[in-house]
Structure 1
Amino acid sequence: MKTSTATTPAGQRPEDENLGIGANLAYGLQHVLTMYGGIVAVPLILGQAAGLSPADIGLLIAASLFAGGLATLLQTLGIPFFGCQLPLVQGVSFSGVATMGAILASDTGGGIPAVLGSVMAASFIGLLITPVFSGITKFFPPLVTGIVITTIGLTLIPVAAFWAMGGNSHAPNFGSMANIGLAALTFIIVLLLSKLGSASISRLSILLAMVIGTLIAVALGMADFTKVAEGPIVALPSPLHFGMPTFHIAAIVSMCIVIMVTLVETSADILAVGEIINTKVDSKRLGNGLRADMLSSLLAPIFGSFTQSAFAQNVGLVAVTGVKSRFVVATGGMFLVVLGLLPIMGRLVAAVPTPVLGGAGIVLFGTVAASGVRSLAKVDYRNNMNLIIVAASLGFGMIPIAAPNFYEHFPTWFATIFHSGISSAAIMAIVLNLLFNHFTFGNSDQQSVFVAATERTLRYQDIRALEDGDYFKGGKLYNAAGEEVPLLGESNHEPPSSKRQPVPLETAGH
């Protein structure tokens, strides 16, 4: 994939580049198209579970678009103490669907007001504890961020496949050759535009492929735009349309678990996008991002929406296009606000055939996983347990993807935390990194059995530290004057160098 060729002035953060109105509008629309299906799915599912009328479900969807747009503007542009100022699109978090559905089905009979009340109370608690989460950046080295980014991509691949099959498992044509063929055609168009197009076309390859794919679908009779004109053109958000939120202890406690998961996933997304665009993310910036997340989630129920968090699929779009500007994403946030105010525009975007989204999604989500692999390539796998950390974390994160019902008989609080592959992998990676790389007491001084058979190699940075005339003798390093060069391992209480196999160097110079 081609990336941005625009230059960034010295001292300017890459995310602060402003590409101009035209580029912002085009790339911002591309972000909206990428995440539109995901942001409307949650209110659609919950509205149906609550037994709402189609008109009220439409209001839930409009509220989610409006609240997501405002949350995106807060996250990308920022105000003091709120907003990480990174290219992150905010929207309704999918991690709370099961819990909110359980609240709707509970004996308390609180309905939508009980769900909204639990979101508000849990988000307020989350806002109070963000300082705890904002101090964890030192526990997110490339080892952990690489695992999380890879898992985000792998977790989203089934979503792309579901879209490619039609997006509705109850439809008679679900999984048909026509649907999969349209998705495959869109996928091929993305690749062709990326290979054959100019830099500008390559950066817009996802949007252009969606437009071309939709036009092909119209020609084949696979797209339906007849319902675009049905319904109001303009509809202002109606605060507290579903009544005053109600607060039930059990609902709030269960939603607090969702908020914990959201904080973990948001932390991972913020650090992931920082890694992708190569910008610094410190604890202060992470804290600002988490506070924006919680403040948005606290205020969203006023408009009839739910918990807000960063959309992982849009992290993939940043990776695949190389467009790092937060002003592009802020423009996408403005589109979302407009869509929340203009239901007719929302209906137009919703008419894009789901298989078209699936074809583009394969590239998008695969790019996220590839970005994670690139981060993992920076990890040192010599004489340590990093390989087993990667293997165990990725394997653990794949469990809910490979077997969605794996935690069906576990306690509800446990299933809520680990039903997400992203949170599963993130928690496992953090715990194992702490256990093996920070709390080193009891670690074996021998290679892990998983890496013992690998070919012995030297890192470039080790060779670069040598000087002309350096040589090894008896397992020790000496300079040209015959003076012993102290080894870093000795000060870290590692096994003496004499116990290691010496590295034969015919010429120790560069």
Structure 2
Amino acid sequence: MDSARPDSAEKSAVHPVDELLPAPKLIAYGLQHIAAMYAGVVAPPLIVGAACGLSATELTVLIGAALLTSGLATLLQTLGVWKVGSRLPFVNGISFAGVAPMVAIAKTAHPGQALPLIYGGILVAGVAGFVAAPYFGRLNRFFPPVVSGTVITLIGLSLFPVAANWAQGGNPTAADFGSLRNIGLAGVTLAVILLLNRFLGGFLRSISILIGLLAGTLAAVPLGKADFGRLAHVPVFAVPSPFHFGAPQFQAGAIISMLIVMIVSMTESTADMLALGEIVDKPADGATITAGLRADGAASALAALLNGFTATAFAQNIGLVALTNVRSRFVVAASGVILVLLGLFPVAGALVDVVPQPVLGGAGLALFGTVAASGIRTLTRARLQENGNLLVVAVSIGFGVLPIAAPTFYRAFPQAVQTVMTSGISAGCLVAIALNLLFNQTGRNRDAEASPAAEPVLEPAAG
């Protein structure tokens, strides 16, 4: 019995983030992450591919490459290599911040040159992001609870329009968009998730999102909302070839646009790592942020070679971690493996795509709301009654919600400003940092917000 004690002590010393779960649980939990992020991965290549005038066959290649590179990026983040990868349950996917600039590049490029120009810009931006990671890693001194709590709340709030769009059907031009049938499917899915969390426990409660999605999809079959017919027209196996759309081309305008996208993505990834560290009870220090941002840069550069796009954090999966309390990074690594397989086996990706958008919308309300609630919990430590902190939160959330409430607000601004400020997360984050510096880091208030999150990052951040 005594000989068992060291093993028990060693097992109990393993942080939940580093816990290796049994294979069946890894697969089930990993599939939940896929369901939460799949639409976000395939949407950018669909939009950009359409802007580039790609055929249906070429769109399939672009989507497969997006899934493959997102899986590789997720594996790099969760498992890590050397000083690359946050080693947190951190899902990486395609950055939506890059969609508008890439569409703009496609509109001005000569036929057949749009994607090579885009990939040239992404390649340069990825390398630049990798090199700049240590400097961003030192920025966690600017994220005390009043800032990190605000940003985490905004991450959740900024995703609600996505959930609302899904719940209505996903396609605003469809005849049944916003119909009671679509919203009813979303309601059924949300109700199943809520009931499972109320009355079940253990493993079944942890996969409540997956069960809810399955229940919603089954409910959609008799309504004709789950289309399995598309599976017959998708290839079973396909390997994305490097430079499928041509070798990268380097143009100053495209490079500058993608460098701005990389800065926005790194800002959002920094905020997401801080949020995830709070949720899994393993605060992200400077070294962790540096390693995570290096992974973003490396994955983005690799994606440019494999026909993918800029890699960044997926906030919806942070909500899944918070809701299920499954904190193992190996679960997310399993989702990375699944993404790679989906990229290599398009028919499997099409099977995941059978889940109707309204069903995803019902699950999204629970996931995204959980992220916002986690931010509110962090704000309870921010001493809002002191040093104008309440005003910091109020104005920052105002700037963060502004692009959601008035999407055309910045239409008269230069494109660079639009790229940064039309992302509610990056806009709110930058305003929160600036106001915190004004109210808490100048003059007599300089040390008022002293906390572990606000301490200077020492040498480890430089990696």
Give the TM-score band, short-chain normalised.
Answer: over 0.9
- Partner of residue 238 from structure 1, selected from 224, 238, 241: 241
Give the alignment of 1:329-368 within 5 angstroms.
329-368=332-371
Structure 1 residue aligned with 2:314: 311
Q: Deviations over 1:441-471 (max 9, x none)?
A: 599x9xxxxxxxxxxxxxxxxxxxxxxxxxx
Structure 2 residue aligned with 1:85: 87
Cα distance in structure 1, aligned partners of 2:141 and 2:122: 30
Cα distance in structure 2, aligned partners of 1:243 and 1:425: 38
Structure 1 residue aligned with 2:452: none
Indicate conservation of the 8 Å contact 2:234/2:350, yes or no.
Answer: no
1:199 Cα offset (Å): 2.2
Structure 1 residue aligned with 2:62: 60
Structure 2 residue 301 is matched with structure 1 residue 298:
yes
Q: Deviations over 1:288-314 (max 9, x none)?
A: 000000000011011111100110000
Secondary structure of 2:443's partner?
A: coil
Structure 2 residue aligned with 1:227: 230
- Partner of residue 185 from structure 2, selected from 182, 185, 193: 182
Structure 2 residue aligned with 1:324: 327
Cα distance in structure 2, aligned partners of 1:407 and 1:112: 27
Structure 2 residue aligned with 1:74: 76
Secondary structure of 1:162's partner?
A: helix
- Partner of residue 34 from structure 1, selected from 14, 33, 36: 36
1:280 Cα offset (Å): 2.8
Structure 2 residue 209 is matched with structure 1 residue 206:
yes
Give the alignment of 1:265-284 within 5 angstroms.
265-284=268-287
Structure 1 residue aligned with 2:6: none
Give the alignment of 1:487-498 within 5 angstroms.
none
Q: Deviations over 1:311-344 (max 9, x none)?
A: 0000110011100000000000000000000000
1:201 Cα offset (Å): 1.4
Give the alignment of 1:105-504 within 5 angstroms.
105-106=107-108, 110-440=113-443
Cα distance in structure 2, aligned partners of 1:273 and 1:256: 25
Q: Deviations over 1:177-196 (max 9, x none)?
A: 11011111111111011111
Indicate conservation of the 8 Å contact 1:401/1:421, yes or no.
Answer: yes
Structure 1's 8 and 237: CA in aligned 2 closer, same or farther, altered over 3 A? farther
Cα distance in structure 2, aligned partners of 1:280 and 1:31: 22
1:198 Cα offset (Å): 2.1
Letter in structure 2 aligned against 1:197: L
CA RMSD of the aligned region, Å?
1.5
Cα distance in structure 1, aligned partners of 2:386 and 2:212: 46
Cα distance in structure 2, aligned partners of 1:104 and 1:75: 30
Cα distance in structure 2, aligned partners of 1:184 and 1:243: 45
Consecutive unaligned residues in structure 1, runs of 5 or more: 1-6, 446-510
Cα distance in structure 1, aligned partners of 2:445 and 2:81: 46
Structure 2 length-normalised TM: 0.92
1:108 Cα offset (Å): 5.7
Letter in structure 1 aligned against 2:124: A
Q: Deviations over 1:66-109 (max 9, x none)?
A: 00001000000001110000001111110110011111112566
1:127 Cα offset (Å): 1.5
Aligned identity (percent) is 50
Structure 2 residue aligned with 1:12: 14
Letter in structure 2 aligned against 1:25: I
Cα distance in structure 1, aligned partners of 2:355 and 2:311: 24
Structure 2 residue aligned with 1:449: none
312-321 or 222-231: bigger deviation = 222-231
Structure 2 residue aligned with 1:459: none
Secondary structure of 1:219's partner?
A: coil
Cα distance in structure 2, aligned partners of 1:441 and 1:406: 36
Cα distance in structure 2, aligned partners of 1:247 and 1:338: 31
Q: Deviations over 1:255-288 (max 9, x none)?
A: 1111110110000111110011110321111100
1:20 Cα offset (Å): 1.1
Give the number of the structure whose residues are more often helix, by fraction: 2
1:375 Cα offset (Å): 0.4
Secondary structure of 2:89's partner?
A: coil
1:220 Cα offset (Å): 2.5
Secondary structure of 1:309's partner?
A: strand
Secondary structure of 2:394's partner?
A: helix
Cα distance in structure 1, aligned partners of 2:324 and 2:257: 38
Cα distance in structure 2, aligned partners of 1:74 and 1:237: 19
Q: Which has the larger Rg?
A: 1
Structure 1 length-normalised TM: 0.84
Cα distance in structure 2, aligned partners of 1:433 and 1:62: 42
Secondary structure of 1:135's partner?
A: helix
Q: Deviations over 1:467-500 (max 9, x none)?
A: xxxxxxxxxxxxxxxxxxxxxxxxxxxxxxxxxx
Structure 1 residue aligned with 2:453: none
Q: Deviations over 1:28-63 (max 9, x none)?
A: 000001100010000000000000000001100000
Cα distance in structure 2, aligned partners of 1:156 and 1:231: 30
Structure 1's 107 and 244: CA in aligned 2 closer, same or farther, altered over 3 A? closer
1:10 Cα offset (Å): 4.5
1:232 Cα offset (Å): 1.3
- Partner of residue 23 from structure 1, selected from 3, 25, 28: 25
Structure 1's 169 and 439: CA in aligned 2 closer, same or farther, altered over 3 A? same
Cα distance in structure 2, aligned partners of 1:336 and 1:142: 34
Q: Deviations over 1:102-158 (max 9, x none)?
A: 111125663111011111111111222111100011111111111111000000011
Indicate conservation of the 8 Å contact 1:8/1:14, yes or no.
Answer: no
Cα distance in structure 2, aligned partners of 1:107 and 1:94: 21
Letter in structure 2 aligned against 1:214: T
Letter in structure 2 aligned against 1:70: L
Consecutive unaligned residues in structure 2, runs of 5 or more: 1-8, 449-463
* Equivalenced residues, count: 438
Moved over 2 A (4+): 7-14, 107-110, 440-443
Cα distance in structure 2, aligned partners of 1:34 and 1:383: 38
